[in-house]
Amino acid sequence: MDSKINVSINDCVMTLSGVLDHQSVLDITQQGQLWLSNSTAQDCLLDLGSVTYSNSAGIALLLSWLRTARKYKKNLQIISLPKNILTLAQVSGLDELLKQHMHS
């Protein structure tokens, strides 16, 4: 499987497309932290609608970015959380935490 992830940032919106696995998460973790720390907006949106695959590394990434958002007093909302991430979160008991940050 190709570990390619594409990132697009437009001030308060970060869009990810592609695969969230251990390699791609390593590649983009710091980018998301910088986005959250530098964004001028209080409310930030993370759009995952074009993520084609994720494993547990994707959940670790989301938790890391949620911690970063809290550190910088940002409200991070997740758009289009892929079903397999939610399923993995349910297995590990993290689904309610992620649901609190899902944009409706």
Return all residues near 5 (Cβ < 8 A) that are at least 6 apart: 16, 17, 18, 19, 20, 24, 27, 28, 51
Total domain count for the chain?
A: 1
Note the pLDDT tens digit of each residue in 52-61.
999 999 999 9
Q: What is the CATH number of the domain that holds 64?
A: 3.30.750.24
Domain that holds residue 37: 5-100
Q: What is the pLDDT of residue 35?
A: 97
pTM above 0.85, yes or no: yes
- What size, in residues, is the chain? 104
Instruction: List the chain residues with pLDDT less than 70.
Output: 1-3, 104
